[in-house]
Amino acid sequence: MVKTERKVVMITGASGGLGRGIAIACAAQGWSVWLAARRESAGNNVAAEITQQGGVAQFVRCDAGVQESVETALATVLDAEGRLDGLVHNATSGLSPRPGAVSDLSLSDFRDHVTVSLRGSFLLARAAFEPLKRSQGALVLLSSEAGFEGKARLPAYATVKAAQRGFARSLAREWGGAGIRVNCVAPLAATEAMEDAFRRDPDMEERVLGRHPMRRLGDSVTDIGPAVCFLLSQDSRYITGHTLMVDGGSCPVT
């Protein structure tokens, strides 16, 4: 992807894992990156890491499931930058790596998945509509292959990830006339959450990699990050309502 004009991008859940990788990739494009997360210390560490690499990054506190927090975070970015060109909703429930059957899933745990992934998508989209309309920008939601094929041991996670895809397709149709593109990325990457899931479910690693054509998990910086950058850039100006599988061919359903 050819580097384009400077963009301002906010990424939720960017204090580590996949969000960190996406932030580093965006900063490598010369964009101004805002790391929106709840963990201030970790977020500032990622911002410092990007700055040391010659990029531009700042931390802004944001709890994606809380309306006031979302609106305050976006207002902070707009006050500082005067614009917003891209928004990436990557944050997921901290319960995402915990395997279990539906019968063992409490209502409060299910609600936490919904709050971060679905309520967060809704709150962020509603708050970002006007600035993205002004910039003719893009929204990217991080889904998962779990949202395509389901996961017997991760039912809540699979459910909300499938729902995010439906929300993105609806927004793409609603917002197309306003010049805003909305897409999803369904990644499979080596992250702290994935490592935690492998520890909790010893058979999971074989289930995941045993069918994987490339026999490896993706790298959040070099494999997943560039795909997100593509969907934020003008190189994808005629793509909306799409879910881009960035999983090395792991998921047999497209």
By three-state DSSP, how is residue 27 classified? helix
Q: Which residue among the candidates 157, 167, 198, 230 is catalytic per the annotation?
A: 157
157 is catalytic: yes
What does each C-alpha distance from 42 to 38, 39, 74, 114, 156 come to in angstroms?
9, 6, 20, 24, 27
What does each C-alpha distance from 102 to 92, 93, 112, 123, 152 come to in angstroms?
19, 16, 15, 27, 9
Q: Are 58 and 10 in contact (CB under 8 A)?
A: no
What does each C-alpha distance from 173 to 44, 87, 142, 168, 179 come to in angstroms?
36, 18, 18, 9, 11
The catalytic site residues sit at: 157
